[in-house]
Homo-oligomer: A and B are copies of this chain.
């Protein structure tokens, strides 16, 4: 009998994670060998609470609209399962819920932590005699998953950041003579500078912004930074800085540590831009402006990369294909073709090699002075932001879909996650 698929979105959402959901659901609907796609309400928490959304009740049109709708249509969560030894009950509960709802496939759409969970569930389900086919589906704006050329979600945030840097750069350039000389844009990227790097695509000549990029991979040197700001203002009249939220001093201390930690124990960051502006004002007295893009950047479906949307859809489609082929504990990846003109195809990677590995920017992508990107980085990044894929508009606003999200009837007693 055709078993159901459990699909869950995990971690920070992106402009295109719903395009992946669209790929999963549209592909699964085409196959008679597969049952329903049941989506976790708020990700894996939905499985633990047995809150499963019956996507078969959504219209074809609404599912198609997921392709152009940002954020997590079923809800996502920051919730990491504890290790097996610490909380086996949670894993047992997942398997129980999967059994109760005839779920034979677990599709986990997320970053490194999620791939680790999917891998554990796969192993445990075998041990427990209810083998579940576990497919990880890559998603992260941070672009820090290994084994894949890029991560769905990254291309769109990269495009947003490159376009925004170009636009704000023109703004500062036109005001600098008598007013603002410095603009600092803070972007996401906790441990890897991929997003900040994308701003470098806006630099179409040696005088164009961004003039300084701050990567988490390069230890921040205040003296060198302030000197470069001044040099740049003297040379071109103004200076645009793009800073990763994870920019840090040599000892690992973040430029802006907000003090709070999230459910994964990661430090919650924010405020690098105002911190840099204070430094610059103090040292040079320039008039400064700053911006913190935060959620705006990862939710910006209105300026999504067409390449990213296509890849996000394709990994969803591939997950279904892998399931039909009986694969397990694997993740579809994006493989860059070795052609001169950019091309890509879907490949696969074992979850064991993906889980808990963080891919940082290679040294060869960062200029020797630590403040910019190399031609090699540009060659890598440029195709990823290529193409526009605008959502439909009505009355001036994008027509993003909200699903009905009806839950299937519960079969099990209530479970209280610890």
**Residue ranges of A at the interface with B (Cβ–Cβ < 8 Å):** 9, 12-13, 15, 42-43, 45, 69-79, 159, 162-164, 166-168, 170-175, 177-179, 183, 185, 201-202, 260, 262-263, 268, 270-271, 273-274, 281, 287, 289-296, 298-303, 305, 382-388, 390, 393, 395-398, 400
**Contact between A13 and B179, CB atoms less than 8 A apart:** no
In the complex formed, the residue of B with least CB distance to A46 is B177
Cβ of A221 to closest chain B Cβ, rounded Å: 26
Which of A179, A262, A289, A387 has its CB near the most chain B CB atoms (within 10 A)? A179
Pick from B42, B74, B289, B398: contact of A295, CB under 8 Å: B289
**Contact between A163 and B268, CB atoms less than 8 A apart:** no
- How many angstroms between the C-alpha atoms of A393 and B307 in the bound complex? 14
In the complex formed, the residue of B with least CB distance to A75 is B174
Pick from B262, B298, B396, B398: contact of A382, CB under 8 Å: B396
Across-interface contacts of A15 in B (CB, < 8 A):
167
Cβ of A157 to closest chain B Cβ, rounded Å: 12
Majority secondary structure, A binding face: mixed
In the complex formed, the residue of B with least CB distance to A260 is B287
- How many angstroms between the C-alpha atoms of A263 and B271 in the bound complex? 27
**Contact between A171 and B42, CB atoms less than 8 A apart:** no
- How many angstroms between the C-alpha atoms of A162 and B394 in the bound complex? 13
**Contact between A179 and B77, CB atoms less than 8 A apart:** yes
In the complex formed, the residue of B with least CB distance to A382 is B395
| Contacts A42-B178, A170-B70, A400-B170 given; does A386 touch B382 at CB 8 Å | no
In the complex formed, the residue of B with least CB distance to A278 is B258
Pick from B175, B289, B294: contact of A72, CB under 8 Å: B175
